[in-house]
């Protein structure tokens, strides 16, 4: 009996096909590296847009600042010690509405927004709220401060204190937990009475809007023209968000007991970390963006190449065909090229359309090639139908984020079961179906010629 060639033994053939499938990890890895590079370029473009338009908005609350004077006499030397005391509102209601648009840098786009924000509330009577100590408060020099974490995005700012007309705010030397603050002029505060206020501002921002609960009783509402919110932070909406067509509305409430910073402090006594930990808000969530979807599709690349190679091996086994390793290599390279084509096209057109174009092009190329390799257009159509099914399954997996794992595991189990069923009669030693071997053994020899 003639010796069996390296790729004529079933075991060696399977090992060779497995090696070729692993070899396809090289182009897939290169595509994955390119995707990461393109994603980094997009991040740089988004950072550039955010720097010029406005970064993520943090909505802080107003603070009442009152100077305190204590006179110290030591050995007939008189010295004055000034201390600023800060008071948060008793009640603060924040209403924010954001209108989302898009800004582009090259081929990259970033959703940005313009937020119209209203802050209304009141400070309690300052004399009762501030601690009584040696010295005196200078009520006539009290000011109201409004911290603005990112003044670059500020488009408009209007202020009303008590029943006065609109008051102009100016940049201040005060810092509230390292935030820039704008200040009113001296108010000549009536320390025995509550002080009402109203602020109205427009703030440009990107990515998300965040609230800082700077009041004893803090209420906030957000109405946004964005379909996919992602709520985060120390507090979630008190009721189920009201999803409208193309947008959402949500409301929060935070009490003094729900946070870890005081309502009154002096100097730099407000802990910025405690303030950050109490923040909450909503992101403009982009579910499965282009690069996330490309990343998910590439993760299934090795599996899909292995499944396609497995189909060709079954054709070899069941139909007594021979496919050369170079032909396996060419088909695998074509399958890997799909992910590069998908990445390039999805940056310019919708991911779904890019996926359809890429899958259709690859299926047509491979069907045309296989009609010659398998010596049958009918068999090539079968391969094309199989690839179409695989690409359809892959699209479902990468677009159904929540159920991708369970769907992928179920499909793999189904395919393994199908393979076991189709090869249940194969004699892997003779590479022929067992039933055919049995029938040929039972047939009497033909007449001698």
Each residue's pLDDT, cut to its tens digit, for the chain (449 residues) gives 344 444 456 667 777 777 887 888 888 888 888 888 888 888 888 888 888 887 888 899 999 999 998 887 777 777 888 899 999 999 999 999 998 888 888 778 788 889 999 999 999 999 999 988 788 899 999 999 999 888 888 888 888 887 666 678 888 888 888 888 999 888 888 889 999 999 999 999 888 899 999 999 999 999 988 887 889 998 889 877 766 667 888 999 999 888 888 899 988 778 888 888 999 999 887 665 788 888 878 887 887 788 788 777 777 766 666 777 888 888 888 888 888 888 888 888 888 888 888 888 888 888 888 888 777 788 788 888 878 888 887 787 777 766 666 776 777 777 777 767 766 676 666 654 444 444 444 444 444 43
224/231 Cα distance (integer angstroms): 12
- Length of the chain, in residues: 449
Q: Say what the pTM is.
A: 0.70
Asked whether 188 and 123 are in contact (CB, 8 A), the reply is: no
Q: Determine the pLDDT at residue 440.
A: 41
Q: Could you tell me which of 261, 263, 257, 253 has the C-alpha nearest to residue 218?
A: 253
Q: Determine the pLDDT at residue 394.
A: 79
Q: Could you tell me which of 153, 159, 119, 149 has the C-alpha nearest to residue 58?
A: 149
Q: Determine the pLDDT at residue 253.
A: 93
235/4 Cα distance (integer angstroms): 71
280-284 β-sheet, strand order: 57-59, 208-211, 280-284, 229-233
Name all domains of the chain by residue range, CATH numbers in brackets.
Answer: 10-41+291-438 (no CATH), 58-286 (2.60.40)
141/14 Cα distance (integer angstroms): 86
**How many angstroms separate the most distant Cα atoms in the chain?**
140
Q: Which residues contact 250 (CB under 8 A, 6 or more apart)?
A: 221, 222, 229, 231, 237, 239, 241, 242, 282
Half-sphere exposure of 193 (CA within 13 A, CB side): 7
Q: Which residues contact 372 (CB under 8 A, 6 or more apart)?
A: none
Q: Could you tell me which of 294, 295, 312, 416 has the C-alpha nearest to residue 21?
A: 312
Asked whether 298 and 339 are in contact (CB, 8 A), the reply is: yes
Q: Determine the pLDDT at residue 319.
A: 66
Q: Determine the pLDDT at residue 320.
A: 67
């Amino acid at each position: 009996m003639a010796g069996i060639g390296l790729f004529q033994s079933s075991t060696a053939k399977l090992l060779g096909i497995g090696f070729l499938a692993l070899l396809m990890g090289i182009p897939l890895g290169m595509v994955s590296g390119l995707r990461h590079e393109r994603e980094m370029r997009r991040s740089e473009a988004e950072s550039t847009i955010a720097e010029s338009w406005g970064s993520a908005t943090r909505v802080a609350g107003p603070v009442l600042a009152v100077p305190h004077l204590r006179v110290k006499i030591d050995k007939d030397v008189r010295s004055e010690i000034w201390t600023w005391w800060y008071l948060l509102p008793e009640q603060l209601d924040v209403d924010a509405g954001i209108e989302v648009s898009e800004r582009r840098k090259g081929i990259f786009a970033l959703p940005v927004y313009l937020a119209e924000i209203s802050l209304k509330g009141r400070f309690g009577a300052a004399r009762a709220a501030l601690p009584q100590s040696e010295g005196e408060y200078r009520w006539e020099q009290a000011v109201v401060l409004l911290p603005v974490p990112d003044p670059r995005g500020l488009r408009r700012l209007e202020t009303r204190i008590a029943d006065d007309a609109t008051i102009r705010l100016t940049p201040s030397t005060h810092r509230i937990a390292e935030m820039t603050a704008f200040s009113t002029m001296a108010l000549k505060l009536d320390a025995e009475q509550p002080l009402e206020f109203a602020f109205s501002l427009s703030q440009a921002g990107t990515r998300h809007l965040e609230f800082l609960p700077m009041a004893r009783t803090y209420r906030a509402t957000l109405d946004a023209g964005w379909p996919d919110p992602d709520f985060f932070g120390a507090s979630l909406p008190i009721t189920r968000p009201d999803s409208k067509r193309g947008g959402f509305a949500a409301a929060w409430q935070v009490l003094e007991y729900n946070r870890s910073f005081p309502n009154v402090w002096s100097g730099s006594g407000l802990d910025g970390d405690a303030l950050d930990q109490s923040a909450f808000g909503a992101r403009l969530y982009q579910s499965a963006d282009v690069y996330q979807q490309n990343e998910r599709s590439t993760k299934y690349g090795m599996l899909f190449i292995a499944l396609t190679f497995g189909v060709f091996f079954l054709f070899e086994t069941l139909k007594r065909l021979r496919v050369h390793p170079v032909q396996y290599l060419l088909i695998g390279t074509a399958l890997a090229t799909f992910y590069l084509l998908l990445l390039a096209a999805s940056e310019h057109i919708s991911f779904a359309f890019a996926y359809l174009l890429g899958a259709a092009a690859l299926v047509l190329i491979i069907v045309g090639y296989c009609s010659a390799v398998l010596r049958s257009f009918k068999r090539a159509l079968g391969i094309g139908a199989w690839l179409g099914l695989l690409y359809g399954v892959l699209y479902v997996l990468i677009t159904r984020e929540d159920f991708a794992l369970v769907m992928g595991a179920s499909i793999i189990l189904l395919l393994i079961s199908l393979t076991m069923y189709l090869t249940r009669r194969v004699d892997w030693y003779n590479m022929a179906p067992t039933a055919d071997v049995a029938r040929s053994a039972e047939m009497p020899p033909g007449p001698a010629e």
